C-alpha cells in the first residue's frame, strides 16, 4: 500500500471512487453531478499543498483504493490552526487493511509539519459511524461530540445512517 498525493492524471479514478463514496453515504438521494465533482477535484488537486491535503492509497498494481482530503484552517477565535479532514474513504473491498490507517498517519504528519495544533476527523457521511469511531479512538483521537443534521427539503431517497 502506497500513500502519495493524487495526480491530475488520476482524476477519473478519484471521481469513480468518489461516486462509490457518495452512493454509500447519507447523501445518496441527491444527484451526483459529475461535472461539478470534476471541477471540485481539479480545484482541489491544483490547490497549494501547503494548506490542502489530497492523498490516495494505491495498491501494488497502482489502483486507487482510498483517499483522504483535508485542509488547514485557523480557529475562529485565535490564530492557531487545525487540520480538518474533508473526506476519508476506502473502497469497501479494501476495508480492514492498512489504507485508512496509512492515510490518517500521512494526514497527521502533514498537519504536524504545518504547525497544526489539532487534527480533526469527522464522520458526517453516516457510513459505519460506530466502527469508524472505534477505529479513530484506537488511533488516539478523542470523541468530542456528534454530527446532527436535518433534511429541510428531503431528497427522494435520503440515505439512512449506517
Give the domains, in start order, of the chain with CATH numbers.
2-138 (3.40.630.30)
**Global confidence as pTM:** 0.90
Please give the Cα distance from 125 to 96 (Å, whole number).
Answer: 18
Running along the chain, 162 residues long, what does each successive block of 10 average in pLDDT?
Answer: 93 94 92 93 81 94 96 96 95 93 97 96 89 94 90 66 54
Amino acid at each position: 500500500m502506497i500513500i502519495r498525493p493524487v495526480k491530475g492524471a488520476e482524476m477519473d479514478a478519484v471521481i469513480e471512487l468518489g461516486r462509490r463514496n457518495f452512493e454509500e453515504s447519507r447523501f445518496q438521494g441527491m444527484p451526483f453531478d459529475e461535472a461539478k465533482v470534476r471541477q471540485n477535484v481539479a480545484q482541489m488537486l491544483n490547490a497549494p499543498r501547503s494548506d490542502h491535503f489530497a492523498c490516495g492509497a494505491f495498491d501494488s498494481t497502482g489502483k486507487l483504493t482510498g483517499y483522504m482530503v483535508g485542509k488547514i484552517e485557523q480557529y475562529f477565535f485565535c490564530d492557531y490552526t487545525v487540520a480538518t479532514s474533508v473526506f476519508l474513504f476506502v473502497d469497501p473491498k479494501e476495508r480492514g487493511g492498512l489504507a485508512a490507517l496509512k492515510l490518517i498517519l500521512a494526514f497527521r504528519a502533514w498537519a504536524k509539519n504545518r504547525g497544526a495544533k489539532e487534527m480533526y476527523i469527522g464522520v458526517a457521511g453516516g457510513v459505519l459511524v460506530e466502527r469508524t469511531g472505534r477505529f479513530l479512538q484506537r488511533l488516539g483521537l478523542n470523541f468530542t461530540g456528534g454530527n446532527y443534521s436535518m433534511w429541510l427539503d428531503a431528497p427522494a431517497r435520503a440515505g439512512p445512517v449506517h
